[in-house]
Amino acid sequence: MRQKVEKKILDYAILREIPVLGICRGAQFINIAFGGNIEPVADHVGVHAVKYENKPYSVNSFHNFGAGIKNLGIAIQPIVFAEDGIVEAFTVTNKKILGIQWHPERAEGNEELFDKIFYKHIGFAI
């Protein structure tokens, strides 16, 4: 039931060009909705290193599933990667949709990195 409701909400937002932010499971859901899949990942609980525009950052992580480069949905553009190649953030081509695997609202959420990608890919500051 939850999947059906979330899919309707996502479809509604896309149809009406409403920006969408998926955090953790929300990012995984968006990837699946665009035809990708997720798979178990190791060492993604705790703080770990990621790269955005070839610059290193540190983010928190609470997920045991992730999207690898081979498993991205149609139109998904990866923008942040963990050291093991797992996609930690992505956008959807020609849409104001951003998915991130970490929790910016929690400790070690790296507000600086979140603000950069949100502003660049969604188009306004929060």
List, by residue number, the catalytic residues: 24, 103, 105
% helix / strand / coil in the chain, to the nearest 5?
30, 35, 35
- What is the rounded distance in angstroms from the CA atom of residue 72 to the CA atom of residue 66? 10
CA dist., res. 63 & res. 117, Å (int) = 20
DSSP assignment of 92-111 equals ETTS-EEEESS-TTSTT--H
Q: Which residues pair with 49 in a beta bridge?
A: 58
